[in-house]
Structure 1
Amino acid sequence: MEAAYLPPEILLDIFHRLPAKSILACVCVSKYWLSLIKTHDFIASHFNQQSSISSSSPHPLFLIRLCFSFRARENHYFLRRDDREFTHYAEVKTIPPIVNDRSFSVVGSCRGLVCLMHNLYTSNYTIALWNPAIGKTITLPKPGVTFETHGGFESLLGFGFDSSTRDYKVVRVVRLLECEEIAIEVEVFSLNAGSWKRITSAAPQYNIVERGSQAFVNGSVHWVARRGSNNNEGYKNVILGLDLQGCEERFRELELPESLKSDSPMYLTVCGYKESTIAVFKRRYLGEPESQIWVMEEYGAVKSWVRMLIIETYDGEVPRALGFRGNGEVLFEIAGGEIVSGDPESFEVSELGLWGVAGYSFVGSFMETLDLLDR
């Protein structure tokens, strides 16, 4: 008996409704099915379909990385629903060696892909993109600015998505240390092109925080930076943004609240807030009584900064902000590496049953995608 024939438009309609795990099974059925699925257009339309389904769900997913002991070099990745109980959804079972190595830190997550970098980044230039849904990882080519080419440097990375060209981009900002004045080099990796390009001419000459935090919001990557003043007022902190949309990436500067401009930038963490704006977490230092969280309620409007939360020490330790939940609660790493959820209005703290080695945990939004399947 001949196998039943289904027109390609019917097959594609079915495939669009399937989760990533089922799609992986389908590509093994026949070369014809593989040819329908493993295309840039199908992967894009499948993501749009799954995104529509996910947006209708009241409880999206978070991807969480935990390391359970100093001796064990393995990482563990879990998916949790953003509901009241932070319900366990699944554990990521297939973890490539480069992702499982504790020598790698998570730069950020975006549209279902995770960007990681080696912790010894001044001598090991390995950067990887990982898709947990399909278990695939790619390693980026070596960047152009290295110790061999430019001498000593400090660097930080950013990771985001160019919706105009449907392209994932990794940004590398490098401050050269063997120059008398501030010297910044900037490189952008395009997944579509598979290569790095230099955009140093567009880069403002700011001091950076090596391996500092980053947030991808409104099409731009954001970092905390420190710039010198032209009117002898000294240095001040700013949020430095790089618009990833289009072929000509553009920098912009967002002012911080007055009380954050003169702090050490090492104690400031930038993160996304409700997918449409940014927040800054200020860790207390030098005997200060509290930490603070500031939110820019209207993205780009300097006057819209509000202090949302004041945090005292928790069991003698200063909490580390990991991100925000959909209901506005803040995810913290506290003493002993426990992850908790804090309500900024009631100041109540909820335990989530998550523990790991302090300083290694990561929490980021997650959505299934087939990206990297065609790479």
Structure 2
Amino acid sequence: MADRLPKELIAEILTRLPVKALLKFRCVCKSWGSLISSPKFITSKLNQTIHLNKINNTDTHIIGRYINANEEGGGEEGRYSVIIYDGSCFIELENPILYCASQLHIFGSCNGLVCLSDNIFDYVFKKVNNLILWNPSIRKSMRLPMSSIGIDSHGLREVVDGYGFDSKTNDYKVVRIAYINDFPDAEVELYSLNRGCWRRIYVVGPHHRFTFAPLPSQVFVNGIVHWVGGDLDADYDISILTFDMSSEVFCKMMPPAAPPHGWMPTRLAVSVLGESLCLGHFDSLVSKVSIWVMKEYGVVQSWSKLFAFDVDEGFGRFLGFRRTGDLRFFKRNDRMFSINLESQQAKDLGIWLSGNPEAFYAVPHVAESLVLL
């Protein structure tokens, strides 16, 4: 029967099926296996998923957290867990990193392909973080080759990574900013999944200090990676450093006007609401959270304060938004909460955040993807 149907119709039907079914259907016949594994079909399936997510207002996040086994009555060592939250329930994933020397960190998720690290920049053991690209939908991961910039060879002071997607070349990239010896000297390398290797980029190094809490806040919006930190060319005034994954160029973006008490750098975070860049700030002096949104991307004058509200002293680190506009954060009692920005009502999301609170991250994620197949 399938042989009588046009190939285009078969492809259209298959793109509407879940990834788990497609992985099985590759074994039906050689033609189906070749079709499902083709770059064209993988892109079509991804576009279909993104389209349906927008229509259905689907809100899925991938979340990394540290679990202290002692607190749960387990063994002596803790472990790092990765879960997916679809707005209604949590599903724990069999991630490629369960144990690591320092901490797991999710840098971002683009089109269902997650970039994570099994070790942050470590002076003691003279290691630069190992990076892994991982698609939880197909349970496939790959470890990136080590960068040529090392602590022994370059005397690094600080390493910052960013992850995103180059839509012009259909390529997933990781940019590494490595500060050499004294600031502000920096080396920049770029990893390309299409090329399968790192290459040095000879661009003007960013004169920028990042706000670590413990790792720099970053978000991928509009084809560009954003970090928040201080501008070394302007007496450490707060600015947003950007890197365009297509043009491979750094720029700086001004934030909105500072609040009355000024910016508290370690309490700043960039995020995304829908497709708009957002900036969140928790002023611990007055226990107030303020959220700004850039209504027209790249236009500084379009920064607009979305909300400002008081919070109790249990408020934790700002993590970002759900598609519904709820603010996601956690409190000091190791519970994950969201707060509705209009009603300012908090909701316990039912997940326990044990162990090190700084090892907790949540980023938007496309749960149905064949990328990396």
Kept in 1: contact 2:64–2:105 (CA 8 A): no
Partner of 2:74: none
- Tell me by how many angstroms 1:294 deviates: 2.5
Do the aligned partners of 1:237 and 1:262 also contact (CA within 8 Å) in 2? Answer: no
2:194 paired residue number:
192
Q: Secondary structure of 1:344's partner?
A: coil
How far, CA to CA, are the matches of 2:315 and 2:49 in structure 1?
39
TM-score normalised to the size of structure 1? 0.85
Q: Alpha-carbon deviation of 1:104?
A: 1.6
Determine the C-alpha separation between the residues in 1 that align with 2:12 and 2:274.
32
Match of 1:297 among 295, 298, 314: 295
1:59 matches 2:58: yes
- State the shift of 1:237 in Å: 1.2
Q: What secondary structure sits across from 2:333 in the alignment?
A: helix
Q: Does 1:208 align with 2:210?
A: yes
Q: Percent identity?
A: 32
Other-structure match for 1:14: 13
Note if 1:342 corresponds to 2:343: no
Q: Given the superposition, is the C-alpha separation of residues 58 and 206 from structure 1 closer, same or farther in structure 2, using an over 3 Å criterion?
A: closer
Q: How far 1:354 moved relative to its partner?
A: 1.9
How far, CA to CA, are the matches of 2:333 and 2:69 in structure 1?
A: 12
1:307-322 equivalences under 5 Å are 307-314=305-312, 316-322=313-319
Using the alignment, how far apart are the partners of 2:205 and 2:136 within structure 1? 33
Amino acid at match of 1:118: D
TM-score of the superposed pair, with normalisation by structure 2 = 0.86
Q: Which amino acid aligns with 1:355?
A: W
Runs of 4+ in 1 over 6 A off after TM superposition: none
Count of aligned pairs between the two proteins: 355
Partner residue, 2:372: 372
Letter in 1 for 2:161: L
The structure-2 alpha-carbon separation of the partners of 1:227 and 1:157, relative to structure 1 and needing over 3 Å to count, comes to: same
Between the aligned partners of 1:58 and 1:224, the Cα distance in structure 2 is 28
Give the aligned partner of residue 156 of structure 1. Answer: 160
CA deviation profile, 1:166-202 (whole Å, cap 9, x unmatched): 11111111222x23x5112222211111111222423
TM alignment of 1:43-192, pairs within 5 A: 43-69=42-68, 71=70, 73-81=78-86, 86-88=87-89, 91-96=91-96, 98=97, 101=100, 103-122=103-122, 123-176=127-180, 178-179=181-182, 181-192=183-194
**Letter of the structure 2 residue corresponding to residue 300 of structure 1:** G
Question: In terms of mean alpha carbon deviation, does 65-74 or 46-55 score higher?
Answer: 65-74
Q: C-alpha deviations, 1:25-79, integer Å up to 9, x for none?
A: 1223344432222222221122122222332213332223344435453344443
Structure 1 residue 330 displacement after superposition = 0.6
> Do 2:57 and 2:323's aligned partners in 1 also have CA atoms closer than 8 Å?
no
Partners of 2:209 and 2:229 within 8 A in 1: yes
Find the counterpart in structure 2 of residue 25 from structure 1. Answer: 24
Is 1:271 the counterpart of 2:252 in the alignment? no
CA gap of 1:13–1:297, structure 2 versus 1, over 3 A, is: closer
Distance in 1 between residues matched to 2:150 and 2:187, nearest whole Å: 11
- In structure 1, stretches of 5+ residues that fail to align are none
Distance 1:294 1:5, change over 3 A: closer
Equivalent positions of 1:212-251 (< 5 A) are: 212-229=216-233, 234-245=235-246, 248-251=247-250
- Structure 2 unpaired stretches of 5+: 71-76
For residues 309 and 319 of structure 1, do their structure 2 counterparts lie closer, same or farther at Cα, with a shift above 3 Å needed? farther
Alignment partner, residue 327 of structure 1: 324
193-202 or 109-118, which moves further after superposition? 193-202
| Distance of 1:297 and 1:44 partners within structure 2 | 29
Distance in 2, matches of 1:208 and 1:307, equals 23
Classify the secondary structure of the residue corresponding to 1:212: coil
Contact in 1 for aligned 2:63/2:362 (Cα 8 Å): yes
Q: Distance in 2 between matches of 1:104 and 1:289?
A: 29
